[in-house]
Amino acid sequence: VFPSVAWNTGEARELLFSLFVFGAAYAFGRLNHTRKAYVAAVEDRALQAELGRRIEAERAAERERARIAREMHDILSHAVSLMIVQAEAGPVAVRAAPERAEAAFDAISETGRDAMVQLRRMLGVLREDGPGRAPAPRSPQPGLAELPALLARVRGGGPEVACTTTGTPRTLPQDTGATVYRIVQEALTNVVKHARADRVDVELTYGEQELTIMVRDDGQGPGTTQGLGLIGIRERAAAHGGTVRAGGGPGGQGFELVVGLPLAPGAEGVRT
């Protein structure tokens, strides 16, 4: 620039104009480079966000599949176990006490109907609503209010079941109540399937910060503690930040399951 200006006119004005033109070209070049870098960064962030959404969607689908699998296992395992026990006891009762056989068959039909209702509800929620198709019925999951009916079904199909509540009962959130119901249901199902027990004790203990669920039987002992049912119980408890302990009962007799579920602070007691 300097030699060309000196050879042409040698004026400072022309020199400054040339420097301004080159400076402007450099500034526009840097602006264009910055714009491209910014666009590339925005595209990369959008790609990362889309990848994150996709991963989260896959994780949510996996969690939902696991939840559905737990629900299906709990419903079918409980119903089929009770029906098998009742069916096996039916022929013996027919010969010894016909009235007990009739009660056993009634229990089988009632258990089957209850299982079908729950399965229809679950499958209806999974099925997408379309044109001309009635929306799937929505109803709450079973909770503490349904525990007496559950205990009665198990009691009618096998061992004697006693349930006690200590502490001040509280109003539980719906998901916590459903978890309590499913834990007790799976524990009783395991008793019916594996324990060969004559008596089962269910205790609900309301503490200051925790609800403790204890299910103890006088059956044949601990056996395995890694079955699908116990895995489902651990997953349900972990979802609420709870703990699970499973093993032999007092003195090594029978089997004992103890689950602790944290209670929401400030929950009010149930007025009676």
Q: List the 243-248 sheet strands across, edge first.
A: 160-166, 199-206, 210-217, 255-262, 243-248
pLDDT of residue 36: 94
Length of the chain: 272
CA 162 – CA 164 distance, rounded (Å): 7
pLDDT of residue 43: 92
CA 160 – CA 2 distance, rounded (Å): 107
CA 95 – CA 98 distance, rounded (Å): 7
CATH topology for the 143-272 domain: Heat Shock Protein 90 (3.30.565)
CA 26 – CA 35 distance, rounded (Å): 14
CA angle 138, 139, 144 (to 5 degrees): 160
pLDDT of residue 267: 47
pLDDT digits (tens, 9 = 90+) for 200-259: 999 999 998 899 999 999 887 666 556 677 888 888 898 889 999 988 887 778 889 999
pLDDT of residue 117: 74
Q: How far is CA 170 from the centre of its chain?
A: 22
Q: Which of 14, 29, 249 is nearest to 37 (CA)?
A: 29
CA angle 200, 203, 209 (to 5 degrees): 155
Q: Which of 142, 155, 145 is nearest to 217 (CA)?
A: 155
Q: What is the CA radius of gyration of the chain?
A: 34
Residues of the chain with pLDDT under 70: 1, 88-90, 92-101, 103-104, 124-140, 157, 221-227, 265-272
pLDDT of residue 46: 92
